[in-house]
Structure 1
């Protein structure tokens, strides 16, 4: 069973991810179902490194982004403007 198109993570959602994500989030980013994700982990062929934490798998966000072909985080004009405003008022 593959996820519906609306279940895929958008670029904005990917850039807002924390330092590591759960396996469900990583599977959504790759457009795969959880069954496929677990099968690939078992085969050692998941598209990026996973870290076992207890009974759960975590995926480092930097490695997820690299596996998705995202090497750089975009800078948005509003973020720059906010950063400049914070600097001016400090």
Structure 2
């Protein structure tokens, strides 16, 4: 299965926070690896634990993919 290519504009439409699976997809990380990294505090961006969920601030995700440059490349 091919990995989805995210654009900066698509990431911005996610809102304020997103789930760890979506964040992992944006970063090109698989689901199982994403949860393992989140549990070990090794995910590439800060992850918050809210109850039984892991969430990622979209602002941090945008920084991680280099969205500060103003360009809108496919990620």
* TM exceeding 0.5: yes
- Point out the structure with the larger helix share: 1
Q: How does 1:1-90 map to 2 (within 5 A)?
A: 4-5=2-3, 7-71=4-68
- After superposition, the Cα gap between the structure-2 partners of 1:73 and 1:52, relative to the gap in structure 1 and judged at 3 Å, is farther
User: Could you say what secondary structure the match of 1:18 adopts?
Assistant: coil
Secondary structure of 1:48's aligned partner: coil
Query: Which whole-Å deviations, capped at 9, do the CAs of 1:22-42 have from their partners, x for residues lacking one?
Result: 111101100111111011112
Who wins on radius of gyration, i.e. which is larger? Answer: 1
Per the normalisation by structure 2, the TM-score is 0.79
Q: Point out where structure 2 has 5 or more consecutive residues left out of the alignment.
A: none
- Partner Cα separation in structure 2 for residue 47 and residue 40 of structure 1: 8
Unaligned 5+ runs, structure 1: 75-90
Give the conservation status (yes or no) of the 8 Å contact 1:15–1:73.
Answer: no
Q: RMSD of aligned C-alpha atoms?
A: 1.8
